[in-house]
Chain A
């Protein structure tokens, strides 16, 4: 019996999850929500006053509307409460824990450090080994656990990442990805143009509005080989949204509907191509955008046509959470991995294919 506790806080959610041999014992989470329309919706000059090293992260996170320092403050203020909740809900004592896992990256620097510090401190206080986990691997392993998918082609779609991934020879290999911003980032920033609420999330609110859309507005469709691009679509819709809505050419609902149809079609296309390439008969959708039911429907249609099976999870496990870090940590720990304290630094950039998958054949 192995119990792993996982700490996640790479973006605007802070979560602590506890997993015992494939069973999620607890998975509490808090989300830092900013008011609607906050931040800049313009892509130019986004990096003002922000500290993030990677250009993609810079545009991505600035644009979602939560700043690294404020998000870190949010995490600091509630991480210990969430940790206590997790232990209570799981009904375990710290001495029952076998390993303390935390998100090493990718994500925003300040929130990552905040959560890593708590993980390092409790690991030492409890005398338990520490384990740094790749956030993307956390999503994949949680998706596999919850759905039972054995060897799926994975579509990982969230506010900071858009990747099509398949497993081969001890790596999760990236078959296709965004060449600029993440799909969730595109949706979040579009939501800001229309002043759509960030509660519970901009993507959720777009999905609800899209259900009432009746007219399809033509938008640029940008698939480049195995990769996708969303920044052009975003600029286009940002430029014309106000005019079209004011003149009554279309409604905000129509725009939400059209944007979803276009970006999700692009994702389905590259996923299908990766499946054909790998001869895969399973698709797993993970990441925050993965709980969008319309995306799941469109993927399901493609899967049916190919005689493949779709696996998706709901918001408890799709959206960033502690249990996913605990689950990936569980697999890693069982295969003999741990992270020495001096190597436990966090990193804003950490690609999915950098991790050697020691727990799969």
Chain B
């Protein structure tokens, strides 16, 4: 894959952005729909948005505190890794070697 996964964080505003390329738009949407339904656990203090453009999954966070942002980003990465592993194990052949 030509594009690479990229995580950007702004330490002043506690904003963060993540872009993850997928082999196809369809798989990017599957990831989006698997990772979006659960609301952020804490009441307030953070918002997260997950979207897809072409075959790229975009995630953006806005948080009041770096601590809350860190928890959310790290748990999202765990969940993303699980989605990728699931796709590798049960998805179309194009997915192998995704990680």
Tell me whether A117 and B90 are in contact in the complex, defined as CB-CB below 8 angstroms, given that A124-B34, A125-B30 are known contacts. Answer: no
Stretch at the interface among A11-19, A108-116, A243-251, A349-357: A108-116
A121 touches B86 (CB 8 A): yes
A121 touches B30 (CB 8 A): yes
Stretch at the interface among A135-143, A234-242, A337-345: A337-345
Name the distance in Å between A359's Cβ and chain B's nearest Cβ: 24
A117 touches B85 (CB 8 A): no
Q: Digit string of A91-126 for contact with B (CB within 8 Å is 1, else 0)? A: 000100000000000000110011011101110111
Residue A195 is within 8 A (CB to CB) of chain B in the complex:
no
New A-B contacts (6) at CB < 8 Å, excluding given A76-B78, A110-B75, A124-B34: A51-B41, A80-B85, A109-B41, A121-B86, A121-B90, A342-B36
Residue A360 is within 8 A (CB to CB) of chain B in the complex:
no
Of the candidates A114, A122, A346, the one whose C-beta lies within 8 Å of that of B90 is A122
C-alpha gap A147/B22 in the complex (Å) = 47
Of the candidates B38, B75, B86, the one whose C-beta lies within 8 Å of that of A346 is B38
- List residues of B (28-67) whose CB comes within 8 Å of A's CBs: 30-31, 33-39, 41
A113 touches B38 (CB 8 A): yes
Residues of B contacting A344 in the complex (Cβ-Cβ under 8 angstroms): 37
Interface residues of B (CB under 8 A from A): 30-31, 33-39, 41, 75, 78-79, 81-83, 85-87, 89-92
Interface SS majority for chain B: helix
Interface SS majority for chain A: helix
Residues of A contacting B89 in the complex (Cβ-Cβ under 8 angstroms): 80, 83-84
Residues of A contacting B82 in the complex (Cβ-Cβ under 8 angstroms): 76, 79, 114, 117-118
Name the distance in Å between B2's Cβ and chain A's nearest Cβ: 24
B39 touches A120 (CB 8 A): no
Name the distance in Å between A162's Cβ and chain B's nearest Cβ: 26
A125 touches B91 (CB 8 A): yes
Closest to A341 in B: B33
The 7 A-B residue pairs with the shortest CB-CB distance in the complex, in nearest-first order: A120-B34, A121-B86, A124-B30, A345-B37, A121-B34, A341-B33, A344-B37
C-alpha gap A216/B34 in the complex (Å) = 53
A345 touches B90 (CB 8 A): no
B30 touches A117 (CB 8 A): no
Of the candidates B31, B35, B41, B90, the one whose C-beta lies within 8 Å of that of A94 is B90
Tell me whether A124 and B85 are in contact in the complex, defined as CB-CB below 8 angstroms, given that A114-B79, A116-B38, A117-B79 are known contacts. Answer: no
A341 touches B41 (CB 8 A): no
